[in-house]
Amino acid sequence: MLLRASLVKEPPHFAPAADCVRIHASPMLDPAKNKLLTSVGRGTPMGDLLRRYWMPIAALSEFDSQSIKPVRLMGEDLTLYKDMSGTFGLVDRHCPHRCADMSYGFVEQCGLRCNYHGWLFDRDGRCLEQPYEDVAQPEAGFRDKIRIKAYPVESTGGLIWAYLGPQPAPLVPNWEPFTWKNGFVQIVFADVPCNWLQCQENSVDPLHFEWMHMNWSVRLKDKGGPYSPRHLKLAFEEFDYGIVYRRIREGMSEQDPMWKVGRVCLWPNALFTGDHFEWRVPIDDENTLSVTWCFSRVPKDREPYVQEQIPAWRGPVREADTGRLISSHVMNQDFVAWVGQGTIPDRTHEHLGTSDAGIIMMRQRFLKDIEAIARGEDPKATIRDPEVNRCISLPIADRKNLTEGQTLEEIAKHPLGGGQLSDYVFQAGQPREVREAYAKAMGLPE
Ligand code: FES
Ligand SMILES: [Fe+2]
Give the Cα separation of 393 and 221 in Å (integer).
38
253-307, pLDDT tens digit by residue? 999 999 999 999 999 999 999 999 999 999 999 999 999 999 999 999 999 999 9
381 has pLDDT over 80: yes
Q: What is the pLDDT of residues 215-249, one digit of tens each?
A: 999 999 998 889 999 999 999 999 999 999 999 99
Mutation choice for ligand 1 from 91, 95, 130, CB with most ligand atoms inside 8 A: 95
Report yes or no: 436 and 444 within 8 Å, Cβ to Cβ.
no
Among protein residues, the one with the nearest Cα to ligand 1's atom 4 is 117
Phi, psi of 81 (to 5 degrees): -140, 160
Q: Which of 94, 119, 130 to mutate to test the pocket of ligand 1 (most atoms within 8 A of CB)?
A: 119
Cα(289) to centroid(ligand 1), Å? 29
Q: Which atom of ligand 1 is found nearest the CA of 130? A: 3
Q: What is the pLDDT of residues 69-109, one digit of tens each?
A: 999 999 999 999 999 999 999 999 999 999 999 999 999 99
User: What is the rounded CA–CA span in Å between residue 26 and residue 38?
Assistant: 19
Phi, psi angle pair for 298, to nearest 5° = -75, 155
CB 293 within 8 A of CB 187: yes
Phi and psi at residue 197, to the nearest 5°: -65, -40
Alpha carbon distance 265, 200 (integer Å): 8
- Whether 281 contacts 188, CB under 8 Å: no
Ligand nearest to the CA of 115: 1
Among residues 266, 278, 103, 66, which one has the least CA distance to residue 190? 278
Q: Is 209 in the pocket of ligand 1 (CB under 6 A)?
A: no
Beta bridge partners of 238: 243
Q: Using a CB cutoff of 5 Å, list residues around ligand 2, an ion.
A: 334
Do the beta carbons of residue 299 and residue 406 sit within 8 Å? yes
Task: Output the DSSP codes for 202-269.
Answer: GGG-THHIIIIIIIHHHHHTT---PPPPPEEEEEEEEETTEEEEEEEETT--TTSHHHHT-EEEETTT
CB 234 within 8 A of CB 357: yes
Burial class from Cβ neighbours inside 10 Å (0-12, 13-18, 19+) for residue 13 reads: exposed
Question: What is the CA(166)–ligand 1 centre distance, in A?
Answer: 27
Name residue 48's amino acid: D
* Percent of residues, the chain, with pLDDT higher than 70: 93
Closest residue (by CA) to atom 1 of ligand 1? 98
pLDDT of residue 21: 41
pLDDT band at 25 (very low <50, low <70, confident <90, very high): very low
Question: How far apart are alpha carbons 315 and 317 in whole angstroms?
Answer: 7
At 25 the three-state DSSP class reads coil
**Residue 445's pLDDT is what?**
81
Q: Are 19 and 27 in contact (CB under 8 A)?
A: no
Residue 3 scores a pLDDT above 90: no
Q: Would you say the CB of residue 114 lies under 6 angstroms from ligand 1? A: yes
Instruction: Please give the pLDDT value at position 22.
Output: 39
**Rounded distance from Cα 355 to ligand 2 centre (Å):** 15
Q: Would you say the CB of residue 91 lies under 6 angstroms from ligand 1?
A: no
Residue 387 pLDDT greater than 70, yes or no: yes
User: Euclidean distance between the first and final Cα of the chain, in Å?
Assistant: 49
Res 422: pLDDT: 84
Is pLDDT of 325 > 90? yes
This prediction's pTM: 0.93
Of 337 and 4, the structure prediction assigns the larger pLDDT to 337
Confidence of residue 26 (pLDDT cuts 50, 70, 90): low
Closest CA to 175 of 158, 156, 188: 156
Residue 95 near ligand 1, beta carbon < 6 Å: yes
- pLDDT at residue 16 greater than cutoff 90: no
With a 6 A CB cut-off, is 97 part of the ligand 1 pocket?
yes
pLDDT tens-digit readout, 345-368: 999 999 999 999 999 999 999 999
| 136-192 residue pLDDT tens | 999 999 999 999 999 999 999 999 999 999 999 999 999 999 999 999 999 999 999
- Ligand 1 proximity of 148 Cβ (cutoff 6 Å): no
Residue 28: pLDDT band (50, 70, 90) is low
CA–centroid distance, residue 58 to ligand 1 (Å): 26
As a whole number, the mean pLDDT across the chain is 93
Q: What are phi and psi of 176, to 5 degrees?
A: -50, -45
The model's confidence at residue 6, banded by pLDDT at 50, 70 and 90, is: very low
> pLDDT tens digit string along 392-414?
999 999 999 999 999 999 999 88
CA of 245 to the centre of ligand 2 (A): 14
Position 11 scores a pLDDT of: 31
Phi, psi of 222 (to 5 degrees): 60, 30
